[in-house]
Amino acid sequence: MDREQWRAAEDAHARAVDDLTGDHLERRRTGRTHPVEDFLFVYYRHRPGQLRRWHPGPGVKLLGDDLAGRGSWTYYTHDADGVFLDVDAYLGRRGEAVRFVHDLLEATAGRAPHLGCFGLHEWAMVYRLGAEEPRHENWPLRLSAAETDAVTESLPIRCSHADAFRFFTPPARSLNLLTPTRDTQTDHEQPGCLHATMDLYKWATKLGPVVPGPLLLQTFRSARRARELDMRASPYDLAELGYTPIRIETPAGRAEYVAEQRALAEQAEPIRQALISLCADLLART
């Protein structure tokens, strides 16, 4: 990739990230928080500056003499013409991680999506909590605590995501039809799960420099959409932030949630497949 091409791609990536993260950075400077837009940075701990770093992906050499020290970046090397990713060095240290991500995403993609969870994991995270210990304490519940508990008890909870399940309150854990753990993650994850969609961003950040910039941004935008749906269906009242609730305590709300969940799963699947293909191509070199 000649200098003009890669500089244009890098600049476009930086502008896109600045648009996506500017409000978050401003809130961080002023000590404010946002339960939807800040979540990805808090939960996944991938900083905006890291997201802003553009990578061309494996098999691409950046030509020119204006490479801003890229030759010293981890897993990069250079020759007389330019800088490129040293895939063999990367696989020497990260091969097992690539295999794990590949196998998890392939297993997830191979299952039929389950679309009837209604976002109840968020309700299970506040089930029977005392008034002094609510989650997202700056945001009130849409219903009373007793009504919120009643909704949680009235619908079947089938959470398949280990990292969501671990935040259930102790009395809510027995309400779940599954007991997902990190050890059984590959056995349980399914493509209808909002958290599995959000985690596509996590796996892209874990894979690091082998993920081309455009694919990384796809995973981030998809994760943002998943988080928005997650919180619109939650028990919290976020009307002040402009989010219209999906009232899963009603039949109409549950139907709305299923439609939104299906659309999210469908748009996430090509992203999942792109990550699977990337991992498979890397593993073919081992």
Q: How many domains does the structure of the chain reveal?
A: 1
Amino acid occupying residue 165: F
Q: How confident is the model at residue 131, as a pLDDT?
A: 72
**pLDDT number for residue 68:** 63
Residue 229 inside a domain? The answer is yes
* Predicted pLDDT at 208: 96
In sequence order, the β-bridge partners of residue 157 are: 176
Q: Tens digit of pLDDT for each residue in 80-112?
A: 888 999 999 999 999 999 999 999 999 999 999
Write phi, then psi, for 80 (nearest 5 degrees).
Answer: -65, -20
The two most distant CA atoms of the chain are separated, in Å, by 69
Contact (Cβ atoms closer than 8 angstroms) between residue 6 and residue 62: yes
Residue 173 lies in a domain: no
- Would you place residue 64 in the very low, low, confident or very high pLDDT band (cuts 50, 70, 90)? confident
Give per-residue pLDDT as tens, 131-142. 777 677 789 999
Note the pLDDT tens digit of each residue in 204-238.
Answer: 999 999 999 999 999 999 999 999 999 999 999 99
- 79, two tokens: 């020759």
Residue 37, Cβ density class (10 Å: 0-12 exposed, 13-18 middle, ≥19 buried): middle
* Distance (Å) of CA 181 to CA 124, 145, 193, 267: 17, 28, 15, 26
CB contact at 8 A, 223 and 40:
yes
List, as one string, the DSSP characters of 165-228: HTTS-HHHHTTBS----STTHHHH--TT-HHHHHHHHHHHHHHGGGS-HHHHHHHHHHHHHHHH
pLDDT at 162 over 70: yes
The fraction of the chain above a pLDDT of 70, given in percent, is 98
- Average pLDDT of the segment spanning 111-135: 90
Q: Is residue 127 part of a domain?
A: no
pLDDT for residue 69 is more than 90: no
Q: Which residues contact 75 (CB under 8 A, 6 or more apart)?
A: 85, 86, 89, 90, 208, 209
Decide which of 65 and 204 is more confident. Answer: 204
Of 37-41, 127-131, 180-184, 217-221, the one with minimum mean pLDDT is: 127-131
- Report strand pairing: 61-63 vs 82-85: antiparallel
User: Considering the domain boundaries, does residue 128 fall inside one?
Assistant: no
Residue 124 maps to a domain: no
Residue 41's domain comprises 3-116+181-283
Flag whether 187 is in a domain: yes
Alpha carbons 122 and 280: distance in angstroms, whole number: 34
Q: Is residue 168 part of a domain?
A: no
> Which residues 6+ apart lie within 8 Å of 211 measured at CB?
55, 57, 204, 205, 219, 275, 278
- Residue 252, pLDDT > 90, answer yes
Helix (H, G, I), strand (E, B) or coil at 63: strand
Mean pLDDT rounded to a whole number for the chain? 94
Report in angstroms the alpha-carbon separations of 173 from 153, 160, 169, 180, 260: 12, 12, 6, 11, 26
Mean pLDDT score, 170-176 = 96
Instruction: Pick the closest to residue 264 from 234, 220, 226, 238 (CA basis).
Output: 226
- The C-alpha angle with vertex 47 and arms to 2 and 261, in degrees rounded to 5, equals 95
